[in-house]
Structure 1
C-alpha cells in the first residue's frame, strides 16, 4: 500500500472515444494543470450551489474528453491528516467503518475523496469507475466521501452500495457553512465504500472493458479486465 499516489504519468489512463484520466499530485497554485482543475471545481460549485470553494484536496484527478475537462475529484489519504468529513462524525471514520462493516481495517487503508465536480452525471459515473480502479491499484481498501442524492444515484446506477455513516451536518463547520451556498439543502450523507467489493462489481459488469479503459499504472490484482 502506498501512502503517496503515483505522480509521474500523464495521462494516467485512457478510455475509448477520446477520454483520458489525468492526475495532479502537487499543491502549487502555479501549476497550470492544478490551476485548471481548481478553477473547474470552483466554477461548478458556484453554478450549482452558489458556493465559494476555498479549499482543495492535496491531489486532484481529472477526466478529459478530446481536450475538454469533464469532471474533477480530489484525493486525501487518511494516513497523513484528519479528514475534512470527520468534522461531521463523533468518532474517527475508520472506527465507525469497523463498527458498521465488521471488517478489520487500518487508517492507512482509507482515502477521502471530495471536491467532486462534473459537467454531467455520465461524466461523474465514468470518473467513479476510473477512481475505483486507480485506488484499488494504489492499495486502498476504503474510500470515504460526502455524497448528495445525485451522487448516490450515480453509485446506484453502477450497482455500488456504500455504507451510510451519517448526516453531513453543516452546523459542525461553524462559520464555514456560509461558504457552501445551497449545498447542504441537498441533505448530503457521509458514506464509505469498500473498494475491493466495488472493483469486483464493476469487473462483473464489464465496466472497464466497455469503456475501453487502459490504465498506465500497475494493475490491482482483481482488475483483469482493464489492461495496461
Structure 2
C-alpha cells in the first residue's frame, strides 16, 4: 500500500530529536485497530482525509490492521500493517514475482513470507509524528517476530528514514499502470514523485535507531506498551514465524 502522505509534515524538513521529544509531552497514546474495532472507521477517515488533502487522492483500500497515535485525543499519525504469510500484498501488484524472492535476493539468504510484513496507509499531521511512528513500529515488528518490512516509499519517506539511520533497499519501481485494485486517477498526484518498492531489515533498523540516545530513550519509554501491542497483534493473527502466545 502507498506511503507516505503527510499533512503539516509535508515539507522536506525533518524533525530534530529535540522536536520529537517535545511531542512526548503530554504522552501520546498508541492503539491498534482491526476490522472489528468500533472506532476503526475514524482512523480510516483520518487517513483518507490526509491523502486527499496532500495528493487529491481518493483511497478506499485500507490494511487489515491500523496503528494509530493520538495526542490529546486527536490523531497525529497512523499506518497500516499487513503480514505477508497468508495473503497477497498490495505492493505485489507492481512486482513480476512474489515479494519473498525480492527480499531473499536482498538478504542473500532464503526469506519466507512468514517473516515479512507490509506497511502502508501512512499519514502524519504533527511534526515528529512520522519519526515516533517508525520508532514504535520498528520495536513492535521486532517483538512480533518479523524480520523484514516492505512498503512503497516516496522520496520524502526515503530521506526521513535515511536521516533516522535506517537503510532502505530498493526492490522495484511502483508503476501505477500495474494497479488492479484501483485506478491511477484515484491517486491524484501521489505517483508524481515516482515512489519505489523498498524493504528494511527490522533488526538492523532497531540496532541503528538504538545507537542514537534520543531514539533509544523513546523506545525504552514505550517498551511496556510495545509489549502489550505485540500481544494484541498476535491476538489479531498478525505475527511473524512464531506466535507470541505459543
TM-score range, shorter chain: 0.7 to 0.9
Residue 7 of structure 1: aligned partner? none
Question: Do the aligned residues in 2 keep the contact of 1:158 with 1:202 (CA within 8 Å)?
Answer: yes
| Partner Cα separation in structure 1 for residue 191 and residue 208 of structure 2 | 30
* Distance in 1 of aligned mates of 2:124 and 2:113: 29
The reply on whether 1:35 has 2:41 as its aligned counterpart is yes
Q: Secondary structure at the match of 1:164?
A: strand
Task: Report the Cα distance in structure 1 between the residues aligned to 2:126 and 2:195, rounded to whole angstroms.
Answer: 18
- Report the more deviating stretch, 145-154 or 210-219: 210-219
Residues 1:109 and 2:115 aligned together: yes
Cα distance in 1, alignment partners of residues 104 and 144 from structure 2: 21
Helix, strand or coil at the partner of 2:30: strand
State the 1:210 CA deviation: 4.2
Shift of 1:138: 0.3
**Cα deviation 1:36-93 (Å, max 9, x = unaligned):** 1101100000000000011100000001112211011000000121100011111111
CA distance in 1, matches of 2:218, 2:58: 37
Equivalent residues of 1:23, 1:59 under 8 A apart = yes
Secondary structure of 1:96 counterpart: helix
1:209 to 181, 206, 217: 217
SS of 1:200's equivalent in the other structure is helix
Shift of 1:120: 3.9
Aligned pair count reads: 203
Q: Which runs of 5+ in 1 are unaligned?
A: 1-14, 221-228
Q: Quick one: which of 150, 153, 177 aligns to 2:159?
A: 153
Counterparts of 1:17-32 in structure 2, within 5 Å, are: 17=25, 18-24=27-33, 26-28=34-36, 31-32=37-38
1:124 deviates by 0.8
Q: Name the counterpart of 1:225.
A: none
1:185 aligns with 2:208: no
- Any residues of structure 2 matched to 1:38-57 within 5 Å, and which? 38-57=44-63
Write the distance in 2 (CA, Å) between the matches of 1:45 and 1:61.
Answer: 17
For residues 103 and 65 of structure 1, the distance between their equivalents in structure 2, rounded to whole angstroms, comes to 41
1:33 positional shift: 2.2
Task: Tell whether the 8 Å contact from 2:154 to 2:195 is kept in structure 1 after alignment.
Answer: yes
What SS does the aligned partner of 2:31 have? strand
Q: Which has the higher contact order (CA 8 A, sep 6+)?
A: 2
What's the C-alpha RMSD, in Å, of the aligned pairs?
1.9
Secondary structure of the corresponding residue to residue 109 of structure 2: coil
Secondary structure of 1:71's match?
strand
Residue of structure 1 equivalent to 2:128: 122
Q: Give the distance between the partners of 1:95 and 1:155, measured in 2 at CA.
A: 24
Q: Can you give the 5+ residue segments of structure 2 that lack an aligned partner in the other structure?
A: 1-22, 231-246
Give the structure 2 partner of residue 8 of structure 1.
none
| CA distance in structure 2 between the partners assigned to 1:61 and 1:99 by the alignment | 29
**In structure 2, what is the Cα distance between the partners aligned to 1:203 and 1:86?**
31
| 1:66-81 equivalence runs, <5 A | 66-81=72-87
